[in-house]
């Protein structure tokens, strides 16, 4: 009886020790798994940044090829089309460059990107001393799914102003402003040029159709004023909108060439 009682007491004392040892092993296992997960996450982020870097470089090569082709082209309309395609490609490359520098996140400062893009467009146009681009951009952080369509739309609006608002070497300025208005982002592209041509809104140019398609894609709105030059105001929600069921069937409103 005495031996039996002693054995029961020792057995009870061993159980807490065994439980502690089991918890220590489990803790070590979980720690190892967390370290492995952190390593995989870091490797994944590195791969994303490397992918953005390679995409940016590839797009820049394509843009350079289009530029070379445009310089050889004798047809003015074809040359302008090639330069427009080059500008669109460089806009997408600019976004991937920002993603690469921003630790692989999927959001970008659209204000800073529009400022960079506008400077590049001015240089692409030959930096005419008669026309300047003035950018006033607040920092507005947007998800890539919203930033990319906005950038492409603004790209077309700025190019349109540089091409058509100041014919015959006229002096003037293109003003681009980016600001946050509560839960929306507001972007104005305006100029003090000759204004819009008669019959505005009847044409279906590729560039202007692209603008409306991009605005519709993000659930935005585009307002146009034609007095004292031209003003385009793009407003879009900061949060990504739900995809409308009939979005694919809606025809984008077209803008006429100046």
Residue 161: CATH number of its domain: 3.30.565.10
Chain segment 112-123, per-residue pLDDT in tens: 999 988 888 888
Same domain, 134 and 43: no
Same domain, 147 and 75: no
Same domain, 85 and 111: no
Output the furthest CA–CA distance in the chain (Å, rounded): 115
Same domain, 72 and 142: no
Measuring CA to CA, how many Å separate 213 from each of 21, 49, 165, 181, 220?
63, 29, 23, 23, 10
Same domain, 151 and 231: yes
Split into its structural domains, the chain has a count of 2
Same domain, 163 and 78: no
Same domain, 79 and 146: no
Residue 235 lies in a domain: yes
Final residue belonging to a domain, choices 53, 70, 105: 105
Same domain, 44 and 95: yes
Confidence of residue 50 (pLDDT cuts 50, 70, 90): low
Q: Starting at the earlier edge strand, list the strands of the sheet with 172-181.
A: 131-137, 172-181, 184-191, 230-237, 221-225
Domain holding 183, by residue range, is 107-115+127-258
Model pLDDT, residue 49? 61
More confident site: 192 or 130 = 192
Model pLDDT, residue 51? 64
Same domain, 139 and 189: yes
Residue 40 lies in a domain: yes
Residue 235 pLDDT > 50? yes
Which residue from 188, 101, 92 is spatially nearest to 147, judged by alpha carbons? 92
Chain segment 125-148, per-residue pLDDT in tens: 765 568 899 999 999 999 988 998
Final residue belonging to a domain, choices 105, 136, 162: 105
Contacts of 93 (CB under 8 A, 6+ apart): 55, 56, 59, 60, 63
Residue the block writes with tokens 């920002």: 98
Residue 68 lies in a domain: yes
Measuring CA to CA, how many Å separate 24 from each of 29, 34, 60?
9, 15, 54
Same domain, 17 and 36: yes
Residue 120 lies in a domain: no
């Amino acid at each position: 009886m005495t031996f039996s009682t002693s054995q029961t007491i020792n057995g009870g004392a061993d159980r807490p020790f065994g439980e502690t040892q089991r918890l220590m092993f489990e803790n070590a296992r979980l720690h190892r798994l967390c370290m492995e997960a952190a390593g995989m996450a870091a490797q994944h982020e590195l791969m994303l940044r490397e992918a953005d870097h390679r995409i940016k470089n590839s797009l820049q090569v394509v843009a350079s090829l289009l530029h070379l082709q445009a310089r050889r082209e004798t047809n003015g309309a074809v040359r302008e089309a090639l330069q427009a395609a080059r500008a669109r490609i460089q806009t997408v490359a600019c976004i991937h460059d920002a993603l690469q520098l921003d630790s692989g996140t999927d959001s970008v400062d659209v204000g800073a990107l529009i400022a960079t893009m506008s400077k590049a467009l001015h240089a692409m146009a030959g930096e005419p001393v008669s026309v300047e681009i003035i950018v006033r951009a607040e920092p507005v952080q947007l998800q890539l799914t919203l930033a990319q369509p906005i950038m492409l739309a603004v790209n077309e609006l700025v190019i349109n102003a540089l091409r058509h608002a100041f014919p015959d070497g006229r002096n003037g300025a293109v003003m681009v402003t980016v600001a946050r208005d509560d839960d929306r982002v507001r972007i104005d592209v305006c100029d003090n040029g000759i204004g819009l041509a008669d019959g505005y809104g009847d044409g279906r140019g590729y560039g202007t159709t692209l603008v409306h398609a991009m605005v519709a894609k993000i659930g935005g709105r585009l307002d146009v004023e034609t007095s004292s030059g031209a003003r385009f105001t793009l407003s879009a929600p900061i949060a990504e909108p739900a995809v409308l069921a009939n979005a694919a069937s809606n025809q984008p409103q077209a803008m006429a060439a100046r």
